[in-house]
Each structure stands twice: as structure tokens, then as C-alpha cells.
Amino acid sequence: MFYWLMKYVVIGPIVKAIWRPWIVGRRNVPAEGAAILASNHLSFVDSVFLPLMLDRRVAFLAKSDYFTGKGLKGTATRIFMKGTGQLPIDRSGGKASEASLNTGLQVLGSGELLGIYPEGTRSPDGKLYRGRTGIARMALEAHVPVVPVLMVDTDTMMPIGTTVPRIVRVGIVIGEPLDFSRFAGMEGDRYILRSITDEIMVALQRLGEQEYEDVYASTVKDRLKKKRS
């Protein structure tokens, strides 16, 4: 109930009126049943605009830090994250990564839409980077299609490091669902998982004009931090 109240009464109408988001390919999102929405990740607000522009509820896996903040800001952030359908996950790796995967599988097992950023983190410079294979494993284990989603100009609206969004019209392009049922039962094969993930990233790159670089975005971020220090 809280999710729909935020979407249609509290946040949604205001956001739509100010930023006038546009969407292409909405029909490519299944009207019912579970599916993974695989999106590029340019800005914090990506997780706001995609659910806002779809009729169905979308659950995103978000880093747990957003749910543990202290004070007024922490409380506001936590309410906002929950209100936009986001679920806390631990990105520290190992058992935490396994728990995150299980959380995603629970969402899909309930027949819902799960939003995932295959790159694992926001792009530091607007490029599209190598995908993490967790998305492929989820798709195979849950037996669901993967729908490529391209966010447009959200990084111009709210670049990394900023707190006040700019008035820029943003958009969403949704591609046709990708069916990986031919790989059923092969979720334990890391080569298959890499192949599926690469196919998803190619589909994302073809939706727009993002330059692709075959390296993890987290690696690029680490390099940038070292240069600044």
C-alpha cells in the first residue's frame, strides 16, 4: 500500500510534472509473471524513474547502506528507499552475495518484476561497463526472461556526487525480452553465465549510444580514487 501511495499520490505526480519523463517500448515488459529488468546505471534516480513509468511494481536490490543511516537524513532515505520498492542487500561479497541472489530469487519466485543493474554500480563516466554474472544465474535459476532497459540522461539530471537534481527531461528505452531457456540447468557453468551476461550487455549497448568498455565499473572507480589521492 505504501509503495502505491508514494507512486501515485506523494512522489509520482510531482516527479512527472517537473521532469516530464518519456518512455519507449513499455509493451516489452510482461503484463504478468516474473521477469528481470536489466538496466544500465547512470544515477541514483534510475531506481525512481523506471518503477514510476511502469504499471507493475518493480523491486530493486539496493546497497544496505541506504537503509542504515542515522538522524533525519538517514530516516528520510530509508523511508524513500522502502517507498520506491527497493530491498537492502550486502555487497561485501562471499556469503553476502549469495544472500543477495536469494533475495532476488524470492522476488522472482513471487511472480514479480526484479530490477537489476548488471554493472553492479553506477557508471563513473557515462560509459557502459562489463556485467556481473549474478544476473545470468538468477535468470536461469528462476526460469525468467531478461528485459534490457536503457536509462537516458539521468546522469545529466543528477550526476554522481550531487544532491540537488537539475531540471532535465529524462527517458527510458525498453528492449525486447531475452530468452535464455536454451541454457536451462546450466547455471553452474561459469562460461555459460559469462556468455549470457555479455549478451545482456550487448542488448543494452544496442538500445542507445553508450560507449562500451569491457572492464568492471568498480575497477574504473578504484583507479579514479587512486588518481585523486
Kindly report, residue by residue over 40-67, the tens digit of the pLDDT: 999 989 988 999 999 999 998 777 776 7
What's 26's DSSP letter? G
Question: According to the model, what pLDDT value does residue 14 have?
Answer: 92
Q: Are 62 and 88 in contact (CB under 8 A)?
A: yes
Question: According to the model, what pLDDT value does residue 70 have?
Answer: 78
Q: If 0-12 CB within 10 Å is exposed, 13-18 middle and 19+ buried, where does residue 84 land?
A: buried
Would the pLDDT of 167 be above 70?
yes
**Mean residue pLDDT across the chain:** 89
What's 9's DSSP letter? I
| Pairing mode of beta strands 35-39, 22-24 | unpaired
103 φ, ψ to 5°? -60, -45
The cell numbers describing 214, all together, are: 569491457
User: Model pTM?
Assistant: 0.90
